Amino acid sequence: MNTTEINRLREAFQHSIAPSPSRIDRRSLLKTGGALGLTGLVLSLSPRSAQFASAYQEGTPPPMASPVLGAQADGTNVWKVQVGGMDMENQLDLQGFFPGNITINAGDQIWFAEGMPGFHTVYFGYGAEPPALIIPDPEQASPVAGAPPQMILNPEMAFPTPNQVVDGTNPVNTGVDILWDPATPTLVTFSTPGTYDYLCIPHQTVMTASVTVQEAGAALPMDQAGYDDQAQQEMAALIEEGKAEIAKYAEATQETQADGTTLWTAAAGAGPGQARVMQFLPNPLEIKVGDSVKWIDQSTGEPHTVTFVGSDATPPEDIMPGAFADGSPKFAINPMTLFPQGGNSFDGTGYMNSGYYGLPGMPTEFTATFPTAGEFLYYCILHGDATGGGMAATLRVVE
């Protein structure tokens, strides 16, 4: 996809209103992104996010638009809550809102600021079921016999709602963060006193928080500096939690099989809570010719893939951008990445992919055998890439 197409699709995302609910067929299937953020989507749709990630690792994140925090001329306040966070050194995705709880007054606004583009949303549903992340393509007449349906990112999840005022009645969704316009702060207004729980749609099993809204003019328990300090403490605690998970899976277990080969068990991601380890552990892993490896997703509800691309194959893109009949953006999931491909044996050629696994109701492990000596790079299509970036690792198969 060329630059013109990228800009056209991003512009459509940023200026379109939410699509008609009549074309949304909700399903329970969820797809979640993580620390390194659905690589295919980030790279194809949001060059800004890729540049931000690179600059962030170098310690020089690019400037982002930000509102004036604190007291405003009309007597209200503007507050800041960070959406997600990362510890690049340990490849930890901190799936939380920081601070996790904040008290403000009616009429105040919260600036939901990117901690790092990570495929997050801010959704206030007042107890209603959030929009599904992935749905069957409503414009696909019918799949070919025996073939799975074409799946797409749900526009109702990806687009912001026209209304960005939390009042206990009208659901509010900010849309996916990697598509937020960096020149326009993401501000949500709170008009009505009450306590409002909210979540990230892709990471709703762990990424939740709340806002308590008092009557206008009420005394506030903490200022922004206090909440910033609270946020830093919460993130520091999650980093320590993530480090403990890394240590837990630092060594692979092994058992001898009936034919004399060894079955190795390794981790494809770890962390059942908000500290998600976006690593294959251990890395590298050394086995012998004929051995098998079982990769278990050790992070609750966080999908991964185990993907090997041989020297004669081309890495597939995960997201295939297109358009609905009305011209609005459509983002299809490539069946070559979503579903298992290439069987369960890899000799250094071809393409072997576990498909997405680890989601509720789906398998949580993938096992493959390696009959040929060599050093093979493998990666998670959702959180890494075929060049070894992000969630990628090395498998050494020796004689």
How do residues 318-339 score in pLDDT, each as one tens digit?
A: 988 889 999 888 899 999 999 9
Rounded mean pLDDT, 188-199? 98
The pLDDT value recorded for residue 75 is 95
**pLDDT level of residue 50 (50, 70, 90 thresholds):** very low
Give the count of alpha carbons within 13 A of 297, CB side only: 22
pLDDT at 238 over 70: yes
Q: 3-class SS at 6?
A: helix
Q: Round to whole Å and give the CA distance between 175 and 183.
A: 16
Q: Round to whole Å and give the CA distance between 385 and 117.
A: 17
Question: Considering only 55-69, 79-93, 109-123, which range has the smallest mean pLDDT?
Answer: 55-69
Structure tokens at 396: 């050494």
Question: Considering only 42-51, 138-147, 169-178, 346-355, which range has the smallest mean pLDDT?
Answer: 42-51
Rounded mean pLDDT, 128-156? 87
Asked whether this chain's domains 3-243 and 249-398 adopt the same fold, the reply is: yes
Smallest CA-to-CA distance from 293 within 342, 340, 346, 226 is with: 346
pLDDT tens digits, one per residue of 275-299: 999 999 999 999 999 999 999 999 9
Structure tokens at 69: 């925090």
pLDDT tens digits, one per residue of 70-90: 999 999 999 999 999 999 999
Selected residue with higher pLDDT from 41 and 160 = 160
The pLDDT value recorded for residue 257 is 96
**pLDDT level of residue 58 (50, 70, 90 thresholds):** low
Mean of the per-residue pLDDT values of the chain: 85
CATH assignment, 3-243: 2.60.40.420
The pLDDT value recorded for residue 366 is 97
Alpha helix segments (H runs only) across the chain: 3-15, 39-45, 47-57, 155-158, 224-248, 335-338
Beta sheet of 351-353, edge-to-edge order: 285-288, 390-398, 374-384, 307-309, 351-353
Give domain 249-398's CATH number out of 3.40.190.10, 2.120.10.30, 2.60.40.420, 3.40.50.1860.
2.60.40.420
The pLDDT value recorded for residue 59 is 53
Smallest CA-to-CA distance from 78 within 106, 109, 99 is with: 109
**pLDDT level of residue 147 (50, 70, 90 thresholds):** confident
Structure tokens at 325: 């009949």
Selected residue with higher pLDDT from 10 and 367 = 367
Write down the domain spans for the chain.
3-243, 249-398
Rounded mean pLDDT, 3-20? 33
Give the strand pairing for 123-124 and 151-153.
unpaired
pLDDT at 11 over 80: no
Decide: residue 31, CB within 10 A, 0-12 exposed, 13-18 middle, 19+ buried: buried
Question: Considering only 1-10, 93-102, 134-143, which range has the smallest mean pLDDT?
Answer: 1-10
pLDDT at 32 over 50: no
Percent with pLDDT over 90 in the chain: 70
Sequence-separated (6 or more) residues with CB below 8 Å from residue 244: none
The pLDDT value recorded for residue 118 is 78
pLDDT at 38 over 50: no
Q: Are 99 and 211 in contact (CB under 8 A)?
A: no
Percent with pLDDT over 70 in the chain: 83
Rounded mean pLDDT, 119-140? 93
pLDDT at 51 over 70: no
Smallest CA-to-CA distance from 110 within 33, 174, 176 is with: 174
Q: Are 94 and 123 in contact (CB under 8 A)?
A: no
C-beta atoms surrounding 303 within 10 Å: 27
The pLDDT value recorded for residue 9 is 33
Q: Round to whole Å and give the CA distance between 90 and 276.
A: 10
Structure tokens at 226: 């206090």
Q: Are 116 and 2 in contact (CB under 8 A)?
A: no
**pLDDT level of residue 375 (50, 70, 90 thresholds):** very high
**pLDDT level of residue 186 (50, 70, 90 thresholds):** very high
Structure tokens at 280: 């294959």
**pLDDT level of residue 361 (50, 70, 90 thresholds):** confident
Q: DSSP letters along 185-224, please? A: --EEEE-S-EEEEEE-STTTTT-EEEEEEE-TTPPPS--H
pLDDT at 40 over 90: no
The pLDDT value recorded for residue 21 is 27
pLDDT at 31 over 50: no
Rounded to a whole number, what is the largest CA-CA distance in the chain?
77
